[in-house]
């Protein structure tokens, strides 16, 4: 399977997906750590891909997403953004609403 197909499948197969450096329990960069904290504060489960362990994804996702940096948060197949956007959305309450709706839709299907 082509790496872009793999990325597409990951995004379509997970209603809440974070591409990050490291894992939620052991983030490998400050931006990933901040994004994970905001996401975990929403209280829903989410999938993640460690781009450090997946160099093909690391090099191809920026082209696929047209977004150059990591982390990248995807909800319901749509790129939400990186650390700054996710943090702002968390502070405004917008992130929690989006995450709860995505989790509810996933558990309903």
Residue 8 marked in a binding site: no
Please tell me the total number of residues recorded for the chain in this structure. 109
Residue 58 marked in a binding site: yes
* CA trace torsion 38, 43, 45, 51 (10° rounding): 10
* CA trace torsion 58, 25, 12, 6 (10° rounding): 40
Residue 84 marked in a binding site: yes
SS3 107: helix
Residue 2 marked in a binding site: no
Residue 21 marked in a binding site: yes
49 vs 58: CA distance, rounded Å: 10
Strands 47-50, 16-20: parallel, antiparallel or unpaired by DSSP?
A: parallel
Residue 83 marked in a binding site: yes
Q: Which residues are annotated as a binding site for glutathione?
A: 21, 58, 70, 83-84
Q: Which residues are annotated as a binding site for [2Fe-2S] cluster?
A: 29
């Amino acid at each position: 399977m082509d790496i872009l197909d793999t990325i597409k499948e990951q995004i379509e197969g997970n209603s809440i997906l974070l591409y990050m450096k490291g894992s939620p329990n052991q983030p490998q960069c400050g931006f990933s750590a901040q994004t994970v904290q905001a996401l975990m504060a929403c209280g829903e489960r989410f999938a993640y891909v460690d781009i450090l362990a997946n160099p093909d994804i690391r090099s191809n996702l920026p082209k696929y997403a047209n977004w150059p940096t990591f982390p990248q948060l995807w909800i319901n197949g749509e790129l939400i953004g990186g650390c700054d956007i996710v943090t702002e959305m968390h502070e405004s309450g917008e992130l929690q609403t989006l995450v709860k709706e995505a989790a509810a839709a996933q558990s309903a299907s």
